[in-house]
Amino acid sequence: MKKGVVLFISLLFIAAVSLLIIKNLEDTDSYIYEQNSKFTKTQMMMYLNNAKEEISKVISKNQNNKIKSYLNIDYPIILQDAEITIRLKEYDKYNINLLRSDDKKAYIYIQSFLENNDIYDIETFKYIIKDSKEIKTNKQLDELINNFSKQTYKNQILGVKDYLGFMDYDKKGINVKRESDEKLFYELFVKVKYLKQFTKAYYILNKSGGVEYFELSFK
């Protein structure tokens, strides 16, 4: 019964987002067929932006207990020559920038996480991150992690990098209750295949649906 309810909610969500995206595309004369690369990328950006706008609306209109029904599900949407996939998940990562602090209490949770994964060179990590600027992008985070791996001659950090982030959010243990006023973020993954091109976008959205971080790649 529970699976049936979740499936029904998912179908309603796909239908609602599809209709809203189509409406936005009609409003912007998006049903123009041109084959040049510039137009194709513009069209793909339009798909991405429209998808993000609709997901932002969903977040802003739903309370935390309701939004959970939409999380961790791939929503496929087919629009003429475009295939769009949307996935929303709760942002739940340790803030690597906390290691810049001299107060051990500030990074107690991330230190515990690293040590539980056989990563004990915390002082080396702190030295490397203090010697660099504040981490604000995934590219900077990847460079930091790779640098740490090279300097320590250990690869364990590579296996947990998906749990590390840079947002002003302090992930705690699974048994630690979150405060009611604590910051909350969501990760939005949007993939678009249009004609013979492919692009994907990654957003970090706040609990009001606003964009806190964005990155884009084309193939």
Predicted confidence (pLDDT) per residue in 6-51, tens digit: 555 665 667 667 766 766 665 555 455 445 566 788 888 999 999 9
Q: What is the DSSP letter of 179?
A: P
Element (H or E) spanning 74, and its range? strand 74-79
Predicted confidence at residue 131, as pLDDT, reads: 85
Predicted confidence at residue 113, as pLDDT, reads: 95
Q: What is the DSSP letter of 114?
A: H
In the predicted model, is pLDDT for residue 185 greater than 90? Answer: yes
Q: How far is CA 75 from CA 17, 88, 214, in A?
A: 9, 9, 20
Tell me: the pLDDT tens digits for 112-152? Answer: 999 999 999 999 999 999 888 899 999 999 999 999 999 99
Helix residue ranges, H only, the chain: 2-27, 37-61, 64-67, 108-116, 122-130, 138-152
% of the chain beyond a pLDDT of 70: 76
